[in-house]
Amino acid sequence: MEKSNPQHIKRWLTPCEQVEHLKGKGVRFTLVSEEWAVSYLSKNNNYFRLRSYRTGFSKVEEGPRKGQYANLDFKMLVDLSIIDMLLRYQMLPMTLDIEHFAKVRLLERIEKAGEDGYDIVRNFLALYDETNSKGELVNSAKSEIRRGSSSPYVAGILAKYPDFDFPAWVFLELTSFGSFIYFYKFCADKFDDKKMVDDFYLLQSVKSLRNACAHNNCILNEMSAGKPMFRARNAVSRAVGGISTIGKGQRKSKLSNDRLQQVATTLYVHSILASDGVHQHRSESLHAFVSRMNKHIEYYEGNDQISSGFEFIEKLVDAWFSPDAMAADLEKKTLDSGRPKE
C-alpha cells in the first residue's frame, strides 16, 4: 500500500485556527465577529467549501500586506455560499421540469412517427447487448433498470414486465435522466430529426447542471471566462444574443464559462419547454432569488467576476421569465411546438 506524500498532507485546523488562517490571508471580520465566524464554521459550513468563494477578490500588490486580500470580509464568503445554495435550489427543480416536459414531447413525437411504442424500446435496449468475459450475455441498460426492483416507487411496474418488453410510456418512468437522453438521441437518429439532435445536446448540458446541483457542488465559486469543455449550442447563443441588454462581449465571455453556460442553457430550455403554469411558478421563484442575490451587491463592487456574473444571471431571468417574455411568442425555438397551457 502506497503511503501518502507528507508534503501533500495538511493538518486538520480547528474552527478557531481556520479563522486565524483566514486573518493571515487578509480576510477581515468587520461585518461579523470572529466569534460568530467560529460558530459558523463549527455548525453551518465547512472551511474548505467556504474559502472556495474567494475567487476573483483582488490582493494587495505592494507593501506589508502584499499577497493578502485587499477587500474581503468573512461575511462576503458566507453571503456567496448562501446565494449559491439558493441558486441550486432554483436550478434543480427546473431540471426536473425539463425532464418531465421533454418526455412528454418525446412520446408525442414517437406517436407522430407511427410507432407502436414497443419496437422502438426493444431496438434501443438491444444496443446494449454484449458478451462478458465469461461468455454470458449482459445488458447494462437492463441492469440499470433492474436495480429499481428494490425501489418502492417502481418495483410494482417492473414486476409487470419481467421480460423487459416495455412500451415507451412505461420505459420512460423507469429510466434515469441520462439514459432517457440517450434514448432521445436514438429516436432522433431513427426519425432523422436534426432538431431533436440539437435537443439532445441541450439536454446533456441540463443534465450536467442537474448532477452538480444534486451532488451539492458549488457553482458560483468560479465564474471567470475561459475555454469551456463544450461550446454553447447555437440556439442558446442566439437566444442570449437576442437579449438587448447583453452585448456581444458579455455573451461570449459568460458563455465561455461552463457553469454559467449550463445555467443559461437550463433557463433557456425551461423557458421554451415548460407549461405556462409551471413557467409562471418558476418565474416568481426566480425573481425572488434575483432579489436575494442582489441584497448585498455592494459587497462585490471590486470583484468583476462576481458582479458581472450576477448581472448576467439577472438579465437572463428578466428576459426569459418576465410577464412580457411569457406573453411573447419566442421566435427561435429548438424544441418542437409551443409551450402547452398546463
**pLDDT tens-digit series, residues 266-297:** 999 999 999 999 999 999 999 999 999 999 99
Pair 206, 178: CB distance under 8 Å: no
User: Dihedral of CA 218/221/227/232: which sign?
Assistant: positive
Strand partners, 129: 139
Pair 173, 157: CB distance under 8 Å: yes
User: Dihedral of CA 18/20/22/27: which sign?
Assistant: positive
Pair 18, 44: CB distance under 8 Å: no
Alpha-carbon distance values, 332 to 98, 159, 237, 269 (Å): 18, 43, 11, 11
Q: For residues 111 and 168, what is the distance between their CA atoms, to the nearest angstrom? A: 10
CA neighbor of 311 nearest in space, from 256, 263, 267, 245: 245
Q: For residues 181 and 204, what is the distance between their CA atoms, to the nearest angstrom? A: 7
pLDDT of residue 326: 56
Q: For residues 35 and 19, what is the distance between their CA atoms, to the nearest angstrom? A: 9
Please count the other Cβ atoms lying within 10 Å of the Cβ belonging to residue 119: 11
pTM of whole model > 0.85? yes
pLDDT of residue 7: 64
- 227 burial type by CB count under 10 A (0-12 exposed, 13-18 middle, 19+ buried): exposed
Pair 75, 306: CB distance under 8 Å: no
As a whole-number percent, the residues of the chain with pLDDT over 90 amount to 73
Q: Look up cell 432538431; give the residue.
A: 195
- Residue 113 neighbours by CB under 8 Å, 6+ apart: 190, 191
Q: For residues 282 and 287, what is the distance between their CA atoms, to the nearest angstrom? A: 9
Cell numbers at 203, concatenated: 439536454
- Under-50 pLDDT residues of the chain: 329-334, 336-338
How far does CA 193 lie from the centroid of its chain?
A: 26
Q: For residues 27 and 75, what is the distance between their CA atoms, to the nearest angstrom? A: 10
Pair 161, 170: CB distance under 8 Å: yes
pLDDT of residue 162: 84
**What's the pLDDT tens digit per position in 310-322?**
999 999 999 999 8
Q: What is the 3-state secondary structure (H, E, C) of the chain?
A: CCCCCHHHCCCCCCHHHHHHHHHHCCCECCCCCHHHHHHHHHHCCCHHHHHHHHCCCCECCCCCCCCCECCCEHHHHHHHHHHHHHHHHHHHHHHHHHHHHHHHHHHHHHHHCCCCCCHHHHHHHHCCEEECCCCCEEEHHHHHHHHHHHCCCCHHHHHCCCCCCCCHHHHHHHCCHHHHHHHHHHHHHHCCCHHHHHHHHHHHHHHHHHHHHHCCCCCCCCCCCCCCCCCCCHHHHHHHHCCCCCCHHHHHHHHCCHHHHHHHHHHHHHHHHCCHHHHHHHHHHHHHHHHHHCCCHHHHCCCHHHHHHHHHHHHHHHHHCCHHHHHCCCCCCCCCCCCCCC
